[in-house]
Amino acid sequence: DAGVTQSPTHLIKTRGQQVTLRCSPKSGHDTVSWYQQALGQGPQFIFQYYEEEERQRGNFPDRFSGHQFPNYSSELNVNALLLGDSALYLCASSGLDRMNTEAFFGQGTRLTVV
């Protein structure tokens, strides 16, 4: 059973560019959340997608946007990249009993903005 998979694993972008990160949830899961983990920090919630809609959003600017597809996979888009956007971006998926189950995380995408 494949867990949560993210691509790419590493990415280097230039300030001002745009980036798209991808996530496939664990089999049987329909909810995807995205987190940003800066160096030396705990993960910070960006937003969550369920039924192809953004259901909850953390304290991140509109430069951060996302999408969920009918197969439950998801994309995270970041526009006008800043140096401060350099971080590990984690995708987490959860199942139908969303409140009582734990979230499963992917290995993350390491984004470096230069």
Partner 1 sequence: AQSVAQPEDQVNVAEGNPLTVKCTYSVSGNPYLFWYVQYPNRGLQFLLKYITGDNLVKGSYGFEAEFNKSQTSFHLKKPSALVSDSALYFCAVRDMNTGFQKLVFGTGTRLLVSP
List of residues contacting partner 1 (CB under 8 A): 4, 6, 31, 33, 35, 40-45, 48, 56, 58, 90, 92, 94, 98-100, 102-108, 110
- Cβ closest to partner 1, residue 2 vs residue 14: 2
59: its two tokens: 């304290």
* Edge-first strand listing for the sheet containing 74-78: 5-7, 19-24, 74-78, 64-68
Q: Cα separation of 113 and 11, whole Å?
A: 8
Q: Tell me how far, at minimum, the Cβ of 58 lies from partner 1, in Å.
A: 7
CB of 13 to partner 1, least distance (A): 19
